[in-house]
């Protein structure tokens, strides 16, 4: 792959970086059992998408992409707030933050 | 200069992301996440997106990571040993993540190199331009996001209360 050799400030580099970050987020969600780490991996994935969106927005000269990133950040903040509140509730009821505590949710 | 900065920031971001998912203690994960978020903020600065640079630092470093640290300290999770995922599931996770990456790279391989022309005169990422777009074209989503925040706040308070029935 010659994209790694050509180090100009191209959009392809941002696509590669965002793909790697997104894949790390996916692996984090699948590998870990701690719910907090899973939340952090979700944040990583959201950030990868944000970075890619900003790169494309700058490339096309269109500010609407950056406005979308702003909204994604707002939704992520709300999501983390509610998620951590649910996490505190789970810890209070089961005494653990492992995803195994929620096995009853499985079909 | 830009390329060296890009490489350094990318390396920091990827190392931080790997440290997030592989460190044993959740506190170290949060600290690695701080590193990742700051390097992504550096990427925004490199892309000349000043508004998002500031907002990213305020929202992520200022709000979300503090929230994470606060919950970890509150629940005193640092000592708890985490149950290990079975090795088969771990292997499956790595294979699926790697396949995803492989697919994206394969799709990218057939593409031409897209060069971003640096145009310093077009200040797309400035507060002025984004404010114009946000309050002209996106005024309805902007107002709806305030409702979202209100409902998230009420939901968090309701979930966080100890005994809803007794009060």
Burial-class residue A59 by CB neighbours within 10 Å (0-12, 13-18, 19+). Answer: middle
- How wide is the angle at C-alpha B71 spanned by C-alphas B70 and B77, nearest 5°? 115
Residue A5 DSSP label: T
Confidence of residue A9 (pLDDT cuts 50, 70, 90): low
**Chain-wide mean pLDDT for chain A?**
85
Residue B81, pLDDT score:
65
**Rounded CA separation A13/A27 (Å):** 21
Tell me how far apart the alpha carbons of residues B21 and A44 are, in angstroms, rounded to a whole number: 10
CB distance B33–A54 less than 8 Å? no
Over residues B59-81, the mean pLDDT reads 82
Half-sphere exposure of A95 (CA within 13 A, CB side): 0
Instruction: Read off the pLDDT band of A4 (50, 70, 90).
Output: very low
Q: Given CB atoms, is A102 within the 8 Å cutoff of chain B?
A: no
Dist. CA B54–CA B128, nearest whole Å? 14
Chain A partners within 8 Å of B63 (Cβ): 77
Q: Is B127 on the interface with A (CB under 8 A)?
A: no
pLDDT digits (tens, 9 = 90+) for B16-64: 999 999 888 888 999 999 999 999 999 998 888 889 999 999 998 888 9
Within 8 A of B33 by CB-CB distance, chain A residues are: 40, 43-44
> What digits encode the pLDDT tens for the residues A77-98?
999 999 999 988 888 888 888 8
CB contact under 8 A, B115 and A10: yes
Q: Report the pLDDT averaged over residues B138-156.
A: 93
Cα separation of B52 and B90, whole Å? 36
Query: Alpha helix (H) ranges present in A4-101?
Result: 11-31, 35-60, 64-94
Distance from CA of B167 to the nearest CA of A (A): 17
Q: Give the closest of A31, A37, A75 to B90, CB-based.
A: A31
Whether residue A58 contacts residue B49, with contact meaning beta carbons closer than 8 Å, is answered with yes
- Which residues are A98's β-sheet partners? A34
* B108 to A63: CB separation less than 8 angstroms, yes or no: no
Give residue A50's pLDDT: 93
Residues A19-76: tens digit of each pLDDT: 999 999 999 999 988 888 999 999 999 999 999 999 888 888 888 888 999 999 999 9
Chain B contact present for A24, CB below 8 A:
yes
Within 8 A of A76 by CB-CB distance, chain B residues are: 59, 64
Picking from B14, B71, B83, the nearest residue to A20 by CB comes out as B14
Q: Are residues B93 and A89, on separate chains, in Cβ contact within 8 Å? A: no
- Read off the pLDDT of each residue in B141-145 and give the average, rounded to a whole number: 92
CB contact under 8 A, B134 and A67: yes
DSSP of B69-127? HHHHHHHTTTSPPPPPPPHHHHHHHHHHHHHHHHHHHHHHHTSPP-B----TT--TTSH
CB pairs under 8 A between A and B: 238
How far the first Cα of chain A sits from its last, in Å, is 44
Predicted ipTM of the assembly:
0.86
Res. A104 pLDDT band, cuts 50 70 90: confident
Could you read off the pLDDT of B85-130 as tens digits, one per residue? 788 888 998 999 999 999 988 888 777 666 655 554 467 778 888 8
pLDDT score of A5 more than 50: no
Greatest mean pLDDT among A11-20, A51-60, B7-16: B7-16
Are the C-beta atoms of A42 and A32 separated by less than 8 Å? no
Q: Rounded to 5 degrees, what are φ and ψ at A95?
A: 75, 20
Contacting residues of B for A26, CB less than 8 Å apart: 93, 96-97, 100
Query: What pTM did the predictor assign?
Result: 0.87
- Looking at residue A6, its pLDDT comes to 42
**Minimum distance, in Å, between the CA of residue B56 and any CA atom of chain A:** 8
Q: From the list B40, B101, B156, which residue is nearest A81 (CB)?
A: B156
Question: 3-state SS of B13-81?
Answer: HHHHHHHHHHCCCHHHHHHHHHHHHHHHHHHHHHCCCHHHHHHHHHHHHHHHHHHHHHHHHHHCCCCCC
Distance CA B132, CA A66 (A): 12
């Amino acid at each position: 792959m010659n994209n790694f050799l050509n180090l100009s400030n191209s959009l392809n580099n941002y696509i590669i970086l965002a793909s790697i970050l997104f894949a790390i987020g996916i692996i984090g969600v699948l590998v870990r059992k701690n719910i907090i780490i899973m939340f952090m991996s979700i944040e990583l994935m959201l950030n990868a998408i944000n970075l890619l969106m900003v790169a494309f927005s700058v490339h096309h000269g269109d500010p609407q992409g950056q406005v979308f990133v702003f909204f994604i950040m707002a939704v992520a903040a709300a999501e983390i707030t509610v998620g951590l509140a649910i996490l505190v509730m789970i810890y209070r009821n089961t005494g653990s933050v492992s995803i195994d505590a929620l096995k009853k949710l499985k079909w | 200069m830009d390329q060296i900065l890009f490489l350094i920031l990318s390396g920091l971001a990827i190392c931080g992301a790997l440290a997030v998912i592989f460190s044993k203690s959740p506190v170290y994960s949060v600290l690695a996440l701080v590193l990742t978020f700051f390097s992504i903020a550096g990427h925004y600065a490199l892309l000349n997106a000043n508004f998002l640079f500031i907002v990213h630092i305020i929202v992520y470093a200022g709000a979300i990571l503090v929230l994470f640290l606060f919950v970890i300290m509150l629940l005193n999770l640092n000592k708890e040993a985490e149950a290990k995922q079975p090795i088969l599931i771990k292997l499956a996770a790595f294979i699926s993540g790697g396949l995803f990456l492989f697919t994206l790279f394969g799709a990218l391989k057939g593409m031409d190199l897209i060069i971003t022309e640096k145009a310093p005169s077009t200040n797309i990422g400035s507060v002025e331009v984004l404010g114009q777009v946000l309050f002209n074209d996106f005024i309805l989503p902007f107002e709806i996001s305030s409702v979202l925040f209100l409902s998230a706040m009420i939901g968090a308070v309701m979930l966080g209360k100890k005994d809803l029935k007794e009060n």
